[in-house]
Structures are given as C-alpha cells and as structure tokens.
Amino acid sequence: MWLKNFFIGLSQNQMLNKAAQRYGFKLGAQSVVAGTNVDEMIESVKQLNAQGISATIDNLGEFVFEEEEALKAKEQILSVIEAIHKHAIDAHISLKPTQLGLDIHYDFCLQNLREIVSKAHKYNIFINFDMEDYGHLQPSFDLIDALSKDYDNIGTVIQAYFFRAEDDIKKYKDFRLRIVKGAYKEAPEVAYQDKAEIDENFIRLIQYHLLNGKFTSIATHDHRIINYVKKFVEENQISKEKFEFQMLYGFRKDMQIDLAKAGYNFCTYVPFGTDWYGYFMRRLAERPQNLNLFFKQVFNKKTNTFIGIGLGAFLLGRLTKGKKQK
C-alpha cells in the first residue's frame, strides 16, 4: 500500500509533472505514450492494427479548471475522431470528463461531451468515459445518463475497489463496460484497501458482466486473471465476440500480440500528448509491477538501466524535499 501511495503522491506533484513534460521523451516516455500529436498517434495505431490489435485513444490531460483549456481539449478530441474516420483505423475514444470541464460547470462539460459524442455517433465511433476519483464518480455517471437518452455509442468504466461497483455494474449492464481495479487513492469509507479484496471483487465483476452484460473490456496485465478468464469463458460457453482484453500501450507487448494471435479480441489503451506524467504514475500506483515492465522495455541496456535507477532516485528525492519544505 505504501508503494501505491508513493506513486499517487508523485502523480500529484506539479513540479515533477512540468519536468516530465519537458524531458520525458528524452528519458523513454515514448515507450508508454504513442506520440505527442495526432499524426504520430495515428501511425502508432496503424502498427497495432497491423498486428490484429484495436485501440482506445486517450488525449492526455485531466482536472482542467479553465474553460479555454477544456475547449482546446474538446477540439483535439474532435480532430482525433476525424482522423479515425479519415484513416479508417480500428480505434475508439477514451476521455475524462474533468478534461472537458466537469470541475468548471456541469452544463458546460455536458455540452462539450454532447458535441464529441454526436460527431462520433455520425461516424459510428464508440466513446468510453474513463472514471476518475470518487469525488467525480456520480457526476460522471450523471453525464452518461443524460447522453445515453440520445446516443447509443457510449460506455464507461467500473472500478473494482469501490464498494458501490457491484450496484453500478448491474445498473449499467446494458452498456459496453471496461472493468478495472482502480488507480486513485480512495478513503476506506468508499473503497476496499486490501489488494486481495480488490482482486476478488474484480473477478466477481468480470464474471457478472460476461454472463449478463453487453460487452466486457477486461483491463489487466495480470496473466493469472487473464488465464482465469480464458477458462471461465470456455466453461460457460461465452463467445469471444462478447469481450476483449485490454492493456496499456507499451506494456507486455508480447502478451498483447499472443492474445490477438490466439483469436481473442484485444484492445490497447493508447495515450498521446505531452501531459503523460500523472497518467503514468497512476498506472504504477495501480500495479507497481508495471515499473519493472517499464524498465525492462525502456532501459534495456546496462548503461540505460543506470539512467533509469537515477531517474527513480531523482523523483523520490524531489518528492521528499517538497514535503519537507511545506
């Protein structure tokens, strides 16, 4: 748990965020982020498609408090939708309501989302609403409820560490859902704190939606859970067309390709842009083993390994120094 809290703390450090945006791609961020602009991202997705892998595209950024920034994000996502259509790639959109203005005003955010969902609906492109921390959970579901009255191309995420997750997955069983463990630091009043309990609930939610839901995206890098799902769908005669596995861009590449080759639907979560730091730190918080995977794939030479270790020490030192100064 201390390691999860450590990475969440790093994700909220604005000084490190700015430094990461400036130097990250020199230190290997390109291995976990599919480019800084739409053109670079499209080329990355084409490479995935060539291996039989689809993509869900995330324009990096969240917790926006200025209308101008939210409108800029909206235009960027609209341009991604146009690019998906123009290049006929196998991809859809993942977005965060806070990037589109949820912390500014609900109606402002709803209007931005309506414009995005409407354009995507025109091109038959799916939009997934990423779920964020507990404080934004119900407002995000409210947005989905409002938009689903007019559009059928939206889905969302169920986070297994929340106590309410079972009720939510039953309410939204007719939606395409991505099931995850959860990556934010949440209070014990609203979320499981023990890894074993989170894993157990994660599996329960997967089972329920595979048996009762519309379409299930199972987001995990854990080969044990993946093997369990393979066995479960076979025993319950669940069609491979009813679900997909999802992993993050740049992680467990060989396993991603192997699952696709084995005939399973596979979708890679593809982030792009310069605001990658908070996203990456939360992936490490969600599953600290990802740090090992990252170093194996980025720092694959002895000299670069020392750079990686030094970077980790630098981040830890700066965070500690920042706390002492407060």
Of 84 and 31, which is predicted with more confidence?
84
pLDDT number for residue 170:
98
DSSP for 260-277 reads: HHTT--EEEEEEESS--H
Q: What is the dihedral of CA 242, 127, 149, 115, to 10 degrees?
A: -160
Of 55 and 316, which is predicted with more confidence?
55
**Which member of 58, 103, 130, 275 is catalytic?**
130
State how far the Cα of 28 lies from the Cα of 156, in Å rounded to an integer: 30
Instruction: Write out the two tokens for 170.
Output: 């039953």
Of 312 and 137, which is predicted with more confidence?
137
Instruction: Write out the two tokens for 185.
Output: 């630091």
Domains and CATH numbers, the chain: 2-325 (3.20.20.220)
**Which member of 168, 176, 178, 275 is catalytic?**
178
Of 13 and 133, which is predicted with more confidence?
133
Query: Hey, is 93 helix, strand or coil?
Result: strand
State how far the Cα of 320 lies from the Cα of 70, in Å rounded to an integer: 32
Q: Please, what sign has the CA dihedral across residues 307, 48, 74, 286?
A: negative
**Is residue 130 annotated as part of the catalytic site, yes or no?**
yes
- pLDDT tens figures, 173-201: 999 999 999 988 899 999 999 999 999 99
User: Does residue 306 carry a pLDDT above 50?
Assistant: no
Percent of the chain past pLDDT 90, that is, above it, reads 70
User: Does residue 96 carry a pLDDT above 60?
Assistant: yes
pLDDT band per the 50, 70, 90 thresholds, residue 310: very low
pLDDT number for residue 305:
38
User: Does residue 278 carry a pLDDT above 70?
Assistant: no
pLDDT number for residue 31:
72
State how far the Cα of 63 lies from the Cα of 70, in Å rounded to an integer: 9
Mean residue pLDDT of the chain comes to 85
User: Does residue 164 carry a pLDDT above 90?
Assistant: yes
- pLDDT tens figures, 238-253: 999 999 999 999 889 9
